[in-house]
């Protein structure tokens, strides 16, 4: 295989990051990582990748900037409304049969989708029996998730999505405007636990009834996807649900036979009992 | 320089925006069923679009037209459209990746994102084509294709429904050929049959 110099440099960069900081991007989908590396390089003030590696090894703040850039924080309140409509229709009735439910939002980014699900649980009378783990490897994003303060543009988009998702109330019931931003109702946070968690390197921490991990796995290579589907399988109770991004599925993973399809379009799967 | 090969190309990437439905329905049916190169297309469209465009193109084309799925191999005889609201990228092992990264040039999917990843994956073995559109997406990507030795084509702006995108691409690099849609179709067919030498004659 013909690997140009840049390829070797990016290999070294990922290796250096892993050895120095424990963040493992080596099994991320490569084209995307290369793109992010070039972008970070161009705004880093470094002239070359080796120069950037040198600085990363010695400057934790600089590395913090790279983590922010390498993690994808594009998300919305009630992103893909039909997914929430489907959760309401197909997953909520099953969750209602349990006295306590554990839910894990893996790769929550800035938290919009975790709050969206919390609203849905409130409306379905399920919130009080739920423990919701909200995790990401990017501390900066996690901090934003913990605060639950979003721009008015995000709220406008969220309002449209909420209605399309079959929301039962008015979306404005769930937030308060503050100057040029909007704070989501703190009560939505009551049963949420925010934690730094890395899908690449961390392990099982509980038995979940529902795991949501949307548009994270598309950034992983096949090998890493296999690991994470295995991790999700091990982290779900029998019959527990897995909700993925609209282009993701366990079908071609080594864990495929652990899951059955609940809703092919909304990408909701279930661990076989 | 590598000596000229009979069939040096591995793939075709096409970027198209406003006016794209008409342009694609003109161009893509000109490709035969067993077209020997994979064709990857970014057509700008609304985030909430369904797969209507893909299905209607598939009906009128001899080649198979489908939405790109993550990790699938780019295969000859197939036209892959970037799904609405996802960027489409090419890996160096010729498989496809999707991403929800920030919009580029206000677009997701973005032509530059596809073209740049394809330029790194295929270098001189790539044909990049910019068609009608009312913005400048694709210009930077086409320039990189050119820089890495690929072949660059632009729809003749005088014949494009919107000429801004072809013009922006022509400004960004010295493109190899400026052609009308039927000529692009004939060109791709020639390249498909016998490689670059005959197509240029």
Instruction: Reply yes or no on whether B112 is catalytic.
Output: no
- Does residue B4 fall inside a structural domain? no
Contact B37, B9 (CB under 8 A): yes
State the CB neighbour count (10 A cutoff) for residue A137: 20
Q: What is the CA radius of gyration of chain A?
A: 20
Give the tokens for residue A242.
């897995």
Higher per-residue pLDDT: A60 or B194: A60
Residue from A1, A31, A81 whose CB has the most chain B CBs within 10 Å, to mutate: A31
Please give the Cα distance from A241 to A244 (Å, whole number).
Answer: 10
Say whether domain A81-271 belongs to CATH 3.40.50.150. Answer: yes
Q: Would you tell me the crossing angle of helices A5-21 and A60-70 to the nearest 10 degrees?
A: 110
- Does residue B101 fall inside a structural domain? yes
Instruction: Reply yes or no on whether B99 is catalytic.
Output: no
- Does residue B119 fall inside a structural domain? yes
Q: What is the CATH number of the domain that holds B145?
A: 3.40.50.180
Active site residue: B107, B110, B137, B162, which one? B137
Distance from the A218 Cα atom to the nearest Cα atom in chain B, whole angstroms: 6
Is the predicted pLDDT of residue B145 greater than 50, yes or no?
yes
Q: What are the start-end ranges of the H helices in B28-147?
A: 52-60, 111-122, 139-147
Question: Looking at this predicted complex, what is its ipTM?
Answer: 0.91
Q: Give the pairing type, strands A268-271 and A236-244.
A: antiparallel
Number of structural domains (chain B) is: 1
CA nearest neighbour of B19 among B8, B27, B9: B27
Across A19-166, the runs of DSSP E, i.e. the strands, are 101-106, 130-136, 149-151
Residue boundaries of the structural domains of chain A = 5-70, 81-271
Contact A160, A171 (CB under 8 A): no
Q: Which of A32, A72, A245 sits opposite B89 (nearest CB)?
A: A32
Vertex B105, ends B11 and A74: CA angle to 5°? 95
Q: What residues have CB less than 8 Å from A197, skipping those under 6 apart? A: A106, A135, A136, A137, A205
- For residue A209, the surrounding DSSP H or E stretch is strand A208-213
CA nearest neighbour of A113 among A74, A160, A77: A77
pLDDT, tens only, A114-164 = 999 999 999 999 999 999 999 999 999 999 999 999 999 999 999 999 999
Is the pTM higher than 0.80?
yes
pLDDT, tens only, B71-118 = 999 999 999 999 999 999 999 999 999 999 999 999 999 999 999 999
Which letter does DSSP use for residue B107 in this model?
B
Which structural domain, as residue segments, surrounds residue B87?
A: 11-200
Q: Which of B89, B101, B121 sits opposite A72 (nearest CB)?
A: B101
Q: What are the start-end ranges of the H helices in chain B?
A: 20-27, 52-60, 111-122, 139-147, 164-172, 181-194, 196-200
């Amino acid at each position: 295989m013909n690997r140009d110099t840049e390829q070797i440099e990016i290999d070294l960069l990922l290796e250096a990051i892993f050895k120095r900081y424990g963040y493992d991007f080596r099994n991320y989908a490569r084209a995307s990582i290369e793109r992010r590396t070039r972008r970070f390089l161009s705004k880093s003030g470094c002239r070359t990748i080796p120069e950037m590696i040198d600085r990363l090894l010695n400057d934790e703040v600089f590395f913090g900037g790279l983590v922010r850039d390498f993690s994808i924080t594009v998300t919305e309140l009630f992103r893909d409304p039909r997914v929430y409509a489907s959760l309401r229709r197909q997953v909520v009735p099953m969750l209602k049969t349990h006295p306590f439910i554990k839910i894990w939002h893996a790769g929550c980014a800035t938290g919009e989708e975790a709050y969206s699900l919390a609203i849905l649980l409130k409306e379905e009378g399920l919130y009080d029996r739920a423990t919701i783990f909200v995790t990401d490897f990017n501390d900066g994003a996690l901090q934003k998730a913990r605060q639950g303060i979003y721009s008015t543009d995000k709220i406008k988009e969220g309002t449209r999505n909420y209605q399309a998702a079959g929301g039962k109330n008015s979306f404005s019931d769930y937030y308060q405007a503050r100057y040029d931003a909007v704070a989501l109702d703190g009560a939505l946070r009551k049963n949420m636990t925010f934690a730094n968690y890395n899908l690449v390197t961390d392990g099982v921490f509980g038995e979940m009834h529902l795991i949501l991990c949307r548009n994270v796995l598309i950034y992983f290579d096949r090998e890493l996807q296999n690991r994470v589907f295995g991790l999700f399988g091990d982290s779900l109770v029998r019959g527990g649900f897995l909700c993925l991004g609209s282009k993701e599925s366990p079908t071609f993973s080594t864990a495929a036979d652990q899951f059955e399809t609940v809703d092919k379009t909304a990408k909701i799967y279930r661990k076989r009992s | 320089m590598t000596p000229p090969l009979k069939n040096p190309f591995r793939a075709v990437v096409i970027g198209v925006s406003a006016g794209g439905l008409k342009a694609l329905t003109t161009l893509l049916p000109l490709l035969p069923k067993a077209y020997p190169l994979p064709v990857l297309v970014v057509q700008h469209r609304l985030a909430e679009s369904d797969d209507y465009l893909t299905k209607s193109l598939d009906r009128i084309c001899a080649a198979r037209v489908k939405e790109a799925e993550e990790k699938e191999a780019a295969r000859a005889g197939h036209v892959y459209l970037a799904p609405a609201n996802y960027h489409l990228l090419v890996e160096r092992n010729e498989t496809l990746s999707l991403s929800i990264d920030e919009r580029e040039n206000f677009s997701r999917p973005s032509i530059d994102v596809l073209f740049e990843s394809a330029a790194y994956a295929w270098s001189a073995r790539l044909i990049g084509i910019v068609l009608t559109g009312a913005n400048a997406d694709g210009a930077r990507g086409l320039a990189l294709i050119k820089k890495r030795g690929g072949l660059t084509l632009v729809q003749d702006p005088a014949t494009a429904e919107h000429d801004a995108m072809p013009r922006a691409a022509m400004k960004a690099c010295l493109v190899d050929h400026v052609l009308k849609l039927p000529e692009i179709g004939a060109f791709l067919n020639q390249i498909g049959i016998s490689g670059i030498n005959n197509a240029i004659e």
